[in-house]
A = this chain, B = another copy of it.
Amino acid sequence: MSDAGPHVDAVDVQPSALGDLIRAGDRKGFAALLERLDPGDLVRTVARLEDEDRTRLLSLLDPDDAATLLGQLPEALAVDAMEDLEPVAAARILEELPSDEQADLIGELDEGDARAIIRHLPDSDAAEVQRLLTYADDVAGGLMVMEYLAYPIDATVAQVIEDLGANAEKYADYNIQYLYVTGADGALAGVLRMRDLVLSSRWRRLREIMIPDPSFVRDTDTLERLAGFFDEHRYFGVPVVDAAGALCGVVQRSAVEAAVADDRDRIYLNAQGIVGGEELRTMPLLLRARRRLSWLSVNIVLNIIAASVIALHQDTLEAVIALAVFLPIISDMSGCSGNQAVAVSMRELTLGVIGPRDLWRTVAAEVTLGLLNGLVLGVLLALVAIMWKGQPYLGLVVGGALMLNTVIAVIIGGSVPLLLKRMGVDPALASGPILTTITDMCGFFIVLTMAAALIGKLT
């Protein structure tokens, strides 16, 4: 891809200009250029740099600025850049990020790269990252930060305030709405609101002013559970305890909200056939093509299987060639109706208003709707057929088939996500292809069987 040409405008020229400055090592020059861009243009420009230029840029920036820039880039690009950087430089940048983001990025790296970078992190960061890496991304342990403040239950207010003052610099990035209070073996004993600390006499002990028995989550709690927790409670963060009850981190509401947004992105991408991770068009062509093909090749096989139903009824089709016009319509419209039902089931599962067990309730709600919408669509298609060919029986066949197949499609679309969830398969990934394959087969079968039965009236 070239950056020059008649369709390229002012903002588009900058990646190459920036690239030149970076390759010349002109720190002042590119710093001034970056400064001039607003945040949206910055991401767009840096995302579009050649890989080497982006890596060089990150290594030339202050680690703090590099970390900020990294946080703005799509994760897939940030991971590539980390892998290309010298481990020492990568570690210096990672140091500036909170522990959960460190672990997220390192978790995406090749194992060798990850080990090399961790070796160059300060010992305390390395230990935190190692610990966080033991958790999946979508449980409390993987979402928590280790930047929180905890004090022993017998500490005095004066001691806490002194510590806050002595470490003001270090704590600057922490969210310290709450302080946590720990008992023996680091067990979570209470929380302390900053405000209560301010308003207490300096000689009092935390056990007297803390809120005892605070809410907490387990390190193994799922994202779904955490989202439910924050729906129920108006807190900005919740302490995380391990199996022994020891405080091991804090999950912030915003981290849960962000993970929920990521999950929605994945559901959308999977439904549209983008699997195996984020695709950006700056990624290598062969990687992009291979990932998309992995999905398409499953689908073409399923499509061929479904279409074989037509092949089996070729004689009917030969006799009533007009049916060939309606087969794709019935296939596509049934897919549309079924996908709507898939989406509603996915949403109801996400919102927690149904569970995998609510199969019959879901089917019942879809059957009535399918009959209604199938009737409307079927009559419409029948009228089109009749107006076109002047054959009422053709209308009956294609309209009746669409109606019947709409009912089948919404039943399958509504129930497949629940069945897959019950079987432990990701419904976002598999619902669509299963739906379209079955509804296509049924649709083709119904049209052609009905036509065969009425063949005398149709020819």
By a beta-carbon cutoff of 8 Å, the part of chain A in contact with chain B is 1, 5, 7-9, 11-12, 39-40, 43-44, 47-48, 68, 71-72, 74, 98, 161, 164-165, 168, 171, 173, 175-177, 194-199, 224-225, 228-229, 231-232, 234, 236, 252-254, 257-258, 260-261, 264-265, 267-269, 271-274, 278-282, 285-286, 288-289, 292-293, 295-297, 299-300, 303-304, 306-308, 310-311, 314, 317-318, 321-322, 324-329, 331-333, 335-337, 339-340, 342-344, 346-348, 350-355, 357-362, 364-366, 368-369, 372-373, 376-377, 380-381, 384, 388, 436, 440, 444
Contact = CB atoms under 8 A, between A and B. Distances in A.
Nearest to A362: B281
A353 B72 contact: no
By secondary structure, the A interface counts as helix
Nearest to A436: B332
A218 B304 CA distance: 55
Contact of A72 (B231, B286, B310, B318): B231
A402 to B, nearest CB: 9
B269 A357 contact: no
For this chain, the copies found in one complex come to 2
* 5 A-B pairs with least C-beta separation: A257-B257, A272-B343, A264-B264, A261-B261, A281-B365
Given A74-B351, A198-B164, A373-B292, A300 B381 contact: yes
B173 A352 contact: no
B44 A353 contact: yes
Nearest to A69: B232
B332 A303 contact: yes
Contacts of A194: 176, 194-195, 198
Contacts of A317: 321, 324
A1 B361 contact: yes
A11 B358 CA distance: 10
Contacts of A225: 39-40
B234 A236 contact: no
Given A280-B353, A281-B354, A314-B322, 11 more contacts: A1-B365, A39-B231, A72-B231, A164-B198, A281-B348, A285-B369, A288-B369, A296-B333, A297-B376, A311-B322, A318-B321
